């Protein structure tokens, strides 16, 4: 009964309602037992100290934020109490500050947080407890921990499975989540045809090389060239340029004659958790390819090529149209002649890129007008639907900028 009264009192305290507990001793006018009062006072003081410790931003007021300090704080929490009260709130607070300490991709740190949970208490004893999520708050915090591991690409090991089984049993929901992760994550780990180092280097030049190599892998004859704008006499700034172009793209550019070409961008490519901008040298949109209206499921046009006879009952003459097959660089929105990443992503560096392309196998660029088509990303929160009249004015303004 005392435990029930304490739980009810804690619920009312959280709700902000003051309640006066009535016991048998108070009804009869007797004074409560001094030993019980001292025990209740000690318990309330201990729980209040734990709540104050958790409300204090432990992870924010640390001078050195590294792995050693993080694990030491977890061990301090483990040694404070045998029952490890408020372990759910502590794990949520620890997960929130993992990236600040640089341990969000460390498997050992995740296992130390799982080790905070009490062992054997949350194991379901029947099928109803197993299916209806016995101790839901404790199971959900570990599921969130596994979700954060999955988002950061951290693959668990078999030691973590034994830790989860000791806490929740084989029928616990976190163990089921672990099994799903161990099935899918190793399959997708090395599935990409463009492997990247883990972690990705922070150097922008190395990121640009990896990005251009990935995008130019559609053509095996593509060559990646590193230019320096110092070699261009008219350059206003000195930076690096990583350019990618194949011999087929040079032939397409030579056949383009004196039509204008465009430099479009910047576009964004992501390499794991790093991003870099790139630009395209391309033409206007290409006409759509001729459509073949032949119905392959029409049984009236069955042909037998081995016997030289046919069963055509349609009156339409056979089609003898010949069309050039498009290359991989000729897309519907334009032909891509080259691609690049620059150190500054400015207009001057792109002008230097065009001059360097002209010197290295593209002399036709000296006779072509080059126009810039810059795009700037606008966040969705700042987008506002414009009226019809303003929308047409904005389109005319964009066309005017394009012409300049």
User: For 43-56, what is the mean pLDDT?
Assistant: 48
Alpha carbon 109 to its chain centroid, in Å, reads 21
Who has greater pLDDT, 120 or 165? 165
> With left for phi above 0 and alpha for psi between -120 and 50, is residue 169 left, alpha or beta?
left
Q: Which residues are bridge partners to 243 per DSSP? A: 225, 340
CB contact burial 313-331 (16+ within 10 A = b; e otherwise): eeeeeeeeeeeeeebebbe
pLDDT tens per residue across span 244-286: 999 999 999 999 888 899 999 899 999 988 999 999 999 988 7
Whether the per-residue pLDDT at 299 is higher than 80: the answer is no
Helices (H), 307-387: 347-359
Q: Is 362 exposed, middle or buried (0-12, 13-18, 19+ CB in 10 A)?
A: buried
The H-or-E segment that residue 227 falls in is: strand 223-228
Helix count and strand count (H, E) for the chain: 15, 9
Determine contact, residues 284/262, Cβ cutoff 8 Å. yes
First and final C-alpha spacing in the chain: 83
Q: How many angstroms separate the CA atoms of 399 and 395, rounded?
A: 6
Of the candidates 336, 229, 341, 203, the one whose C-alpha atom is nearest the C-alpha of residue 277 is 341
Q: Which residues are bridge partners to 154 per DSSP? A: none
Tell me the pLDDT band of 52, cut-offs 50, 70 and 90: very low
What Cα–Cα distance (Å) separates residue 23 from each residue in 5, 140, 250?
A: 10, 37, 93
Query: Which single residue is written with the structure tokens 């197993």?
Result: 130
Pairing of strands 240-245, 261-271: unpaired
Determine contact, residues 264/375, Cβ cutoff 8 Å. yes
Q: How many angstroms separate the CA atoms of 90 and 96, rounded?
A: 10
Determine the pLDDT at residue 399: 46
Q: How many angstroms separate the CA atoms of 234 and 354, rounded?
A: 12
The average confidence (pLDDT) of the chain is: 79
DSSP annotation of 328: T
Tokens of 343: 């150190």
For residue 49, the SS3 value is helix
pLDDT tens per residue across span 188-242: 988 888 889 888 999 999 999 999 999 999 999 999 999 999 988 888 889 999 9
Determine the pLDDT at residue 22: 40
Least confident of 76-80, 202-206, 360-364: 76-80
Q: How many angstroms separate the CA atoms of 273 and 207, rounded?
A: 11
User: For 379-400, what is the mean pLDDT?
Assistant: 47
Whether the per-residue pLDDT at 3 is higher than 90: the answer is no
Q: How many angstroms separate the CA atoms of 256 and 337, rounded?
A: 10
Determine the pLDDT at residue 122: 92
């Amino acid at each position: 009964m005392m435990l029930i009264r304490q739980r009810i009192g804690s619920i009312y305290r959280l709700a902000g309602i003051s309640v006066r507990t009535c016991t048998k001793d108070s009804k009869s006018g007797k004074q409560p037992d001094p030993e019980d009062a001292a025990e209740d006072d000690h318990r309330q003081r201990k729980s209040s100290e734990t709540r104050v410790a958790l409300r204090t931003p432990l992870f924010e007021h640390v001078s050195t934020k590294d792995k050693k300090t993080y694990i030491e704080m977890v061990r301090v929490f483990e040694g404070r109490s045998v029952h490890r009260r408020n372990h759910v709130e502590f794990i949520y607070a620890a997960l929130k500050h993992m990236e600040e300490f640089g341990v969000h991709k460390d498997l050992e740190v995740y296992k130390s947080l799982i080790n905070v949970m009490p062992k054997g208490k949350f194991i379901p004893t029947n099928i109803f407890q197993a299916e209806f999520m016995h101790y839901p708050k404790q199971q959900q915090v570990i599921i969130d921990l596994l979700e954060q591991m999955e988002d950061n690409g951290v693959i668990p090991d078999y030691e973590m499975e034994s830790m989860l089984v000791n806490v929740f049993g084989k029928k616990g929901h976190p163990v089921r989540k672990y099994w799903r992760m161990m099935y899918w994550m190793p399959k997708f780990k090395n599935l990409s045809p463009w492997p990247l180092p883990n972690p990705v280097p922070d150097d922008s030049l190395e990121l640009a090389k990896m990005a251009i190599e990935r995008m130019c892998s559609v053509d095996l004859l593509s060559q990646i060239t590193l230019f320096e704008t110092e070699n261009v006499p008219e350059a206003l700034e000195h930076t690096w340029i990583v350019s990618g172009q194949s011999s087929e793209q040079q032939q397409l550019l030579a056949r383009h004659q004196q039509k204008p070409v465009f430099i479009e961008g910047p576009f964004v490519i992501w390499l794991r958790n790093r991003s870099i901008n790139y630009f395209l040298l391309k033409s206007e949109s290409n006409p759509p390819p001729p459509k073949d209206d032949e119905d392959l499921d029409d049984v009236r046009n069955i042909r037998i090529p081995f016997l030289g006879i046919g069963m055509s009952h349609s009156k339409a003459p056979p089609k003898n149209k010949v069309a050039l097959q498009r290359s991989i660089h000729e897309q519907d929105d334009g032909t891509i002649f080259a691609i690049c990443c620059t150190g500054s992503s400015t207009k001057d560096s792109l002008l230097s890129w065009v001059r360097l392309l002209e010197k290295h196998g593209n002399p036709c660029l000296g006779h072509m007008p080059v126009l810039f088509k810059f795009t700037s990303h606008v966040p969705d929160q700042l987008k506002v639907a414009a009226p019809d009249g303003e929308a047409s004015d904005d389109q005319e303004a964009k066309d005017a900028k394009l012409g300049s």
